[in-house]
Every structure is written in structure tokens, then in C-alpha cells.
Chain A
């Protein structure tokens, strides 16, 4: 019987395993060094904050794997021998496979800062990072201050975590406004304010020079590049993005660049070896996407796609329209289609923006200057319906159509205040148009978009 071995039990690997099991009775083994059972990495922050216990992050009960005949093996793969279809583990044991799926995800970036491997320096990615954080920052007596380096989504989540235990946080961000490589200025400025509202010491335009140790080899302070200022702290969080976690493939025949190179069928250069999730790198970008996408849901989609291929229904990875979501402290963020920040805005791209006068709510709709074609939307503090935007993007609808039917797209809980009328009014005023908001249509909302 074919033996499918999956390295990595994150969302990509586990999704692949589940769907291979749905469609076949092949032997499946999932290998992981991090934790025996699948858990949702995105929820680790809630364990530290006390919203959940670790077991709540596990979507399947422990009996699930045995019942579905998916073998779980704890171990660290040291070498992949593709000639003999064999995996060698760091403890000396080995495992043969018929087909190999590499789904090892990513690891936090380190840019060679002096002191980056000291005790008390950590990323916020692995379960082990959480354990380290619990050790070095259990409260504000043990950890008098934490410094976070790198202004992405993990950085702000780590800041939120530490603030939940009243630990003073200094947040070093290289850019002149938070995440402004991705977000338009309006949104980025709003998040800057919100970070400060949470009493986080946000330092923009600031780079890390070095991390200094105390006499025990633990973090003592960080030095700032620009001013030479020394900030005393007990914990340093490095959250300047992630890179594929593929060091163990160095000596193998599998072709890699930053990640494991794969084609649109997620095949590597070696037969019967596939790569999915954060560690997979496309030869050529798909649409406007990046070659490597360290996004939770693309990992899931690659897992589903590859499972089809492995079970005999050869399927190309076609991720569809871009979407994403996040939460910045108390502000929810969703995006559908493409809204580029001012920095990387395209020639043809124009914004329509609206912001609530008092609350942390705003939207940016991106559209084509000439054709008025709808390109994408960012929403903050307003929930929007994924399926509707997916449909509108597929149908190449205009911004007028989007605004007219905005009520259909709202996904806020019942009784929430709606802002569509103000939004449309602002657009009409700015563009001398006369768009009339259509009533909400249950039929449009619940009819399937595919």
C-alpha cells in the first residue's frame, strides 16, 4: 500500500492528511517535532492571555487520529534521502515513504543582530516560544519591560499578549507608520493611534542595533540604531517576518530557493515529493500574489488541492481571489481583492476612503481610475461577507455596483449600527455621482456564489 508521509502537522499537512483519508485508504503518517497533536498556531496568543487552555487550540480530539487511521510520529527529520525514499531522524531512526509531503511551515526571521540568540530572545511562532514566554514573562515583576522588534501582525499580537499581563512594551517599527507597506495611510495611522491607546510604547522609524546580555547571558537591554538609546528589558520578541523552515533539505536533491520550489501542481523537482504551505515557493507568482505566502488559509487550500492530486484527481493550485483578515488589538480587519498601500499603488489604482468620525472604523475601496472596476476593499471595524466580494470580483463589477449593494455585503452582528448610507453619500459628494443604496436582499445574500 502506498505510504504517504507528511512532514509537519500544521494546517497544511493536517488538511492534506484529512482529505487524503476522505478519498482513499492509503497509509498516512504525519511527522512533527513540535507537538504530537495538531493545534491551531494562530490561537497560541489566547493561551498566554488566558482566554483558552492549550487543549482548546486542538480542533480534533485525541482519538480522532486513531479512528481515522492517521499515524502520528514525533520526531525531527534530519535528512531526506529521495533516492531511497527514506527519511532519517535526528535520533537515528528512519522511515520510508512512497510519497512525501513537505509541510514544515516557517520560522521567525533573524537578521544577524548581535545578541539575537541570547536567553530571553524569542519569536512568537512555535509552541516552544509560548513556553519560553511563560518562563521569561510570567508577570511584570519577572519581566519589567519587553521590547518587540518588527512591525507585522505577529508583533502587534505579541504586544497585546504582554499588555494583558501589564508588562510595559516597547515596539520598534522600522517603517514611519505601522504596516504601511501593506495598509493605506489612513488605516495605518488609525492603528498607530490604537496601539498607543493600549499604552504600548510605539517607536516608528526605529531599528534594532544590538541586544546586550547581563552577566548570566540573559537579555539585559537593547540598543537602538538611530539614537544609540539603551532600553532595559528582560524579553525581546523578534517578529520581523518569517522564512521557510527548510534547513533539513540542504543536502537533499530537492530544489530550493528561499522555500521549496514547486510548480502549480505543488510538485517539487523530485518525483513523489511535494511541498505545501508556508514552506512552498512558486516558480512564478500566481496573479499578484507573492511566490511564498505565509498565510493560514493558503496552507489549507494547498493541502486540499494536493490531496486531490495524490488521490488521482490531478488538480492545479488556483487560490482564487486574494482575501485576508486580522485583528489589531480591538480592531478587526478584513480585506478582499487587492488594495495596495500608497507605497506600492499601481498606476491605474484609485482609492475611495471613508472613516467614522469617532470610532475606529474605516474602509478603503480600491478601483480602476478609467473603467471604475472594483479592485478590492479594506474594512476596519466592519465585518464584510466573503462570498459576496468573491462573486463581485469574479464578475468584474464596478465600484458603483459595490456601493449600491453594500448592504448585502455587511456581515456585522444584528442590531449593529450600519454606515452604508454615510459611505455612499461621501462617494456621491466626492465623485458627483448619484448612487442610490439598494435595500438588503436576502436572496442575493444566501444564493450561492459558485
Chain B
């Protein structure tokens, strides 16, 4: 069994190495005709860019992606610099008409995005010619290797039951050097994906056939991310099924998050795209879906007829009615650990790291400040955006609409949710984003804390304060502090993953939905279970 595991690890690492290696493969250059058709497609109205690009990439040289990207970005820069100068010149001359005319020649967009678009046309080499084989050598080997590594646990873990043996003895799960390597890889992955997508354009070639099949268009970096996300969740979901095979709550919950990720977050939007409809993830509620009320989205929805209006209404009803009503009945767990994609990744890929969430009082204080600040930030941004959308102005109360949107998507969307939220799993635990940053979690949490039927009940006097519950709480709740007092846990941050209940060796904790009455039962003193004494103390 150990041999199979090691073999699996080797195969997995080989797949991973090839996956990373593909970045450096292939060559990037264009023929004149290819460039012409690209320029036509883009509808650029200046001759300078044509000339600059021609000089940069119409060549027989086998450029690698980095050289290619650098040349393309320089070409765009050169063209834009020229028109900036023209604008400044006409500005100084107060020649407003001429100045205004220049703007149409400037090319908008982030340099790496422009380079990505062109690289998509320019890529040649093994991966573009053999995407199927490339898929097998990367994704295929990764999946086979991971499964070979995971499946023997069915026997190695022994009889069904909680098996957390050696988590704190192993480098990977005890913040050792393997954990740091994983962190570096994940952080680098997110940085590249968000900010340097052109560098990994080869990854999109691997998935082009699948994307063509599903959505009738070539794969973008976001398709790569979505596909990888589902693959990772499925594979690590297998691990969850084996590890928690004695625990039906965990099994059902894991099936649920896998279903919502694969069908709702991945397949439905792709199929909608192939049908020329706006792509929409029907479970992604505002304010987690922070760009729902951005102009481009509202415009695209209102312009796509019935389905657009349906999505608009559904999105608003989801946030304002469904979310709070469901939280009232079931707590925020129905979303955070049964439906949400971020939660889904945290519960599958992140499960081996759940013990690293900080349980100190200081962390709790930081958490409450941060998460509610993000909620306020997202609400202010939405108000400003909507105000500007309906009035047609640029700013509201001095806040520029574009500036606040850009700041939010950069700081919160990219850095907090992606780079830190997922990249730091191995060190800070798997729910960093959910705990400290997610504005939807903050909203759900407010409802859960003050108006819900959900609580974690503690079983009389059975708690022995062993601390398994607190250690394995991914949300950093000191569950034991409540359990040893016999108090129900109604914390806003609890996502209802049920692991505290699973790891408890005395059967003390249970997730329940019940009457609101008696939900909060702060008992100052737990004087055994002597009936008279309890009465005496409570009356005092």
C-alpha cells in the first residue's frame, strides 16, 4: 500500500512538473496574414500599432512566451505613448478637436491581457498540436497520481472513524517546508493567473478542445481555472469520502458542494455561453458576486432579453430573500459548507490544513473588524456604482465609481480571495477568506447570530475539555470554551461544517436547527446536573 502511495506521489509530481513545464514550451510568432486578421478582428484604428506589432512578432524566430509578451507589450506601449504625446501636444495648443480625435487611437486594456489575446493566436508547438496528449500528461497524470496516493487510505486508515494521526508530525500538515512549498506554488499560481495570464497561455491550449465542446469558444485563463478547480475538488473530495466514511453528514455535505461547483459554477455558465446567453452562476449571491451590479453586467443582462431579466430578478431575490430565509431556518451552513464554491475548495483541498486557523482572542477581534469592513466596502462600492449607473455621473460623494471598483477587485477580489485566501491555506488554515474577508459570510453571519434557528448544542456535562473541537475548527472558533460551559454555540462565523462534532471523542457536539426559544443559553455555572442545585444557582 505504501508503495502504491509513493508511486502515486511520483506520478502526481511528474504531472505537476509537466504542467508547469508546458509554460516554457512552444513558440510564439505570427505570419503577416495572421496579424492582419487579428487587427481586423480587434478593429484598431491606427496604423502605428500595426507597424509596431509587425516588427515585434511577425518573424520566423521561435520566440518563447516571455519574449513574445515583452515585445507585444512594448509595441502597445510605443503606440500608446505616441498618442499620449499627441494628446499632450494638442492640449497645449488648445486644439480641442484634434485632441479629441486622438483618443480613438489609444488602445485600452491591461498590457498582459492584450498580450494574452495575441498569444492565443500566435501559439505553436507540441501543446497546440496535441492537446489530448498534453491533457493526459498534465491533468491525467495529476489525477491518476493523486488517486493512487489517496485511495490506499481506505485500507491504511483502518476501521472507519476519526483518524487524525500524525497531522502534527508531518511537514505538509504541520507548517513544515512542504507546507511552505505548497504555499509558494499556490501564491505563484494565483499571481500568474490574475496578473500575468499571457505567461500561461499554453495551459489554455491544453483545454481548448474541452472549451470548444462545452462553450463553443477557445479556453481563457478563467476556463483553465474553473476546470482545474473542479478537478481538484473532485479528487480531494474522494479523499474526504474516505477520511469521513463513517460520518454521513460529511459525505452528504461533500456531495452537495461538489454538485454545486461542477454544475452551477462550471457547467451551466459554459453551456449558457454556447447558447449566446450571459454566463451566470446561479448560486453566486451578492455581495460575494461583487460585480453583479456593475454597469457592464447590468447592461449585458438588460440587453439579453428574458433570460437577462430573469437573472437580474433571481440575483436580487437570492440575496434579499432566499439567503436570509434559509439562514433563519438552517444557519449559514446551507450556503457556506453546502453550496459555496470557495467553501467547497476549502472543505476539499483545504481539509488537511483546517487545524491551522488561529484560535486566539486577538484573531477573533481582527476577524470581526476585517470581515465587516469588507462588507461595508462592498456595499459602499455597490451604492456608488448604482448611483453612477442611474444618474450617468462619474462619482458619488467624491468617490469615483471606476476607482472604487478597481480597488475592490484588486484588493479583495484578487489579493484577499485568491492570493491570500487560497494561497495561504497551508499556513493560516483553509478558511482565511471565509473567516476574515468574505462579505457574504459577514452578511450571513449577522443573520445567523441574531435571527436563526441554528445552533451547535453541547451535551450536558460530558465535555472533557480535550480541545479536539477547537483544534479542528476551520473558522477559529474556540468551540471548547462553549462546550465546557455547556453553552450552545451561536457564533456568527460558524459555517456548520460539522467537524467539531465529528472529532469529539465524547459525543458532546451536535449541529441542530430548533426553536429560537432557548437557543442562547449562557449558563454562568454548570453545577453538575443536580436538579436542585441548578435551580438554586439560576434563581440566585
| Chain A residues with a Cβ under 8 A of chain B | 11, 19, 22, 40, 42-43, 46-47, 49-53, 56-59, 61, 164, 194, 197-198, 296-298, 300-301, 304-305, 308, 313, 315, 318-321, 323, 325-327, 329-330, 332, 334, 383-387, 390, 394, 411-417, 442-443, 445-450
Contact = CB atoms under 8 A, between A and B. Distances in A.
B528 A43 contact: no
Given A61-B360, A318-B532, A411 B464 contact: no
A168 B470 CA distance: 31
Given A304-B527, A325-B507, A42 B533 contact: no
A120 to B, nearest CB: 22
A394 B355 CA distance: 40
Contact of B249 (A11, A56, A413, A445): A413
Interface string B154-181: 0000111110111111100000000000
Contacts of B529: 320-321, 323, 386, 390, 450
Interface in B242-271: 246-249, 251-252
A282 B430 CA distance: 49
A390 B461 CA distance: 11
Given A59-B484, A386-B529, A46 B167 contact: no
Nearest to B534: A450
A250 B97 CA distance: 105
Nearest to B516: A446
B459 A446 contact: no
Contact of A318 (B481, B510, B530): B530
A142 to B, nearest CB: 15
B362 to A, nearest CB: 9
Interface stretch (B98-106, B221-229, B282-290, B517-525): B517-525
Contacts of A446: 514-515, 517-518
A413 B166 contact: no
A15 B169 CA distance: 32
13 contacts: A22-B524, A40-B465, A40-B466, A46-B466, A46-B468, A59-B465, A304-B525, A318-B528, A332-B506, A383-B510, A414-B511, A447-B518, A450-B535
Contact of B165 (A19, A164, A296): A164
A415 B471 CA distance: 24
A296 to B, nearest CB: 5
Contacts of B515: 442-443, 446
B464 A297 contact: yes
Given A51-B167, A301-B528, A315-B533, A325 B161 contact: no
Interface in B42-63: none
Nearest to B249: A413
A327 B162 CA distance: 11
B464 A42 contact: yes
B273 interface: no
A334 B507 contact: yes
Interface centre among A19, A49, A446 (most CB of B within 10 A): A446
Interface of B: 158-162, 164-170, 246-249, 251-252, 355, 360-361, 459-462, 464-468, 470-471, 480-481, 484, 498, 501-503, 505-507, 510-511, 514-515, 517-518, 521, 524-536, 538, 540
Most buried by B among A325, A334, A442: A325
Contacts, number: 177
Contact of B533 (A318, A329, A414, A416): A318
Most buried by A among B168, B468, B536: B168
Contacts of A52: 168, 355, 467-468, 471
A367 to B, nearest CB: 21
B69 to A, nearest CB: 46
B471 A56 contact: yes
A299 to B, nearest CB: 10
A390 B510 CA distance: 18
Contacts of B511: 413-414
Contacts of A61: 360-361
A387 B530 contact: no
Contacts of A447: 518
Contact of A164 (B166, B170, B484): B166
Contact of B470 (A56, A296, A313): A56
Contacts of A323: 460-462, 529
B355 to A, nearest CB: 8
A298 B252 CA distance: 38
Given A11-B465, A319-B530, A447-B518, A390 B460 contact: yes
